[in-house]
Chain A
Amino acid sequence: KNGEPRTFRADLTYRPEPDAAPRKYALTVNNPLRLDGDRVYLISHGYAPTVTVRMPDGTSRTETQAFLPTDASTLYSEGAFKLLGKPNQSQDVGISGFFAPTPGLGASGLVTSVSADVKNPILGMFVYIGAINPNGTPESVYRLTTSGLKQIGKPTNLVIGQTKTFPNGIAITFDGWKPWVSLQVSHDPTQGYLLIAAAAMVIGLALSLGVRRRRLWIRIAPARTGEHGSPTVVTVGGLARSDSGNFTAEFSSLLDRLRSVTADEGAEHVASETDDHVGAVSVGSGKKD
Chain B
Amino acid sequence: MSGVNGSMAHLSDGLFTTAIATYTLAMVGYTAEYAFGRVGRTAAEKAAAPRRQLVGAGGPSVDAPGPSITRPAKRPMAEKIGRLSVAITALGLLVQLASLTIRAVAVDAVPWSNMYEFASVAGLVAVISFLVVMWRAPQIRHLGGFILLPVVLLMFLAGTVLYSEAQPLVPALQSYWLAIHVVLISISEGALMTSAVMTVLYLIKSRHDRLAVVAAAATASSADGTTVVPRRGPLTNLAERLPSAQTLDKAAYRIVAFSFPLYTVAVICGSIWAEAAWGRYWGWDPKETWAFIGWVIYACYLHARATAGWKGNKAAWINLLGFSSITFNFLIINLVVSGLHSYAGIS
Contact = CB atoms under 8 A, between A and B. Distances in A.
A39 B272 CA distance: 14
A8 B260 contact: no
B347 to A, nearest CB: 8
Contacts, number: 77
A205 B171 contact: no
B265 interface: yes
Nearest to B246: A245
A188 B279 CA distance: 10
Contacts of A220: none
A60 interface: no
A27 to B, nearest CB: 12
Contact of B302 (A32, A188, A209): A209
A276 B276 contact: no
A242 B302 contact: yes
A237 to B, nearest CB: 14
A244 B1 contact: no
Nearest to B281: A191
Contact of B253 (A5, A43, A244): A244
A51 B264 CA distance: 53
A148 to B, nearest CB: 35
B250 interface: yes
Interface stretch (B38-46, B88-96, B172-180, B192-200): B172-180
A206 interface: yes
B175 A4 contact: no
Contacts of A244: 250, 253-254, 257
Given A1-B2, A241-B306, A29 B280 contact: no
Interface residues of B, number: 37
A188 B280 CA distance: 9
A30 B177 contact: yes
A199 B168 CA distance: 33
B249 A245 contact: yes
B249 A29 contact: no
B285 interface: no
B50 interface: no
B345 to A, nearest CB: 11
B57 interface: no
A10 to B, nearest CB: 12
Q: Which of A43, A199, A241, A244 has the most CB of B within 10 A?
A: A244
Nearest to B177: A30
Given A194-B281, A242-B302, A245-B246, A28 B261 contact: no
A216 interface: no
Interface string A175-211: 0000000001010100100110011011001100100
Given A201-B264, A205-B261, A244-B257, A186 B2 contact: no
Contact of A202 (B170, B174, B268): B268
A2 B281 contact: no
A31 interface: yes
Contact of A195 (B3, B264, B272): B272
Interface string B97-118: 0000000000000000000000
B311 interface: yes
Interface string B218-230: 0000000000000
B167 interface: yes
B310 interface: no
Given A29-B172, A245-B253, A191 B275 contact: yes
A206 B276 contact: no
Contact of A30 (B2, B277, B281): B277
Contacts of A186: 279-280
B174 A4 contact: no
A184 B171 contact: no
Contact of B170 (A5, A191, A205, A209): A5
B172 A39 contact: no
A206 B258 CA distance: 9
Interface string B133-176: 00000000000000000000000000000000001101110110
Contacts of A206: 261
Contacts of B284: none
Contacts of B302: 209, 242
A245 B276 contact: no
Contact of A32 (B254, B264, B265, B276): B276
A209 B253 contact: no
A242 B281 contact: no
Contacts of B268: 198-199, 202
Nearest to A186: B279
Contacts of A6: 3, 168, 171
A7 interface: yes
Nearest to B2: A1
A244 B278 CA distance: 40
Contacts of B276: 30-32
14 contacts: A2-B167, A6-B168, A7-B171, A29-B172, A31-B276, A32-B276, A32-B279, A43-B279, A194-B281, A198-B268, A202-B264, A202-B265, A242-B257, A245-B249
Name the 9 nearest CB pairs between A and B, nearest first: A30-B175, A245-B250, A41-B279, A186-B279, A1-B2, A7-B171, A8-B171, A242-B306, A209-B257
Given A242-B305, A245-B250, 20 more contacts: A4-B168, A6-B3, A8-B171, A28-B174, A29-B171, A30-B175, A30-B273, A32-B276, A32-B279, A41-B277, A184-B279, A191-B275, A194-B281, A198-B268, A202-B261, A202-B264, A202-B265, A202-B268, A245-B249, A276-B308
Interface of B: 1-3, 167-168, 170-172, 174-175, 177, 246, 249-250, 253-254, 257, 260-261, 264-265, 268, 271-273, 275-281, 302, 305-306, 308, 311
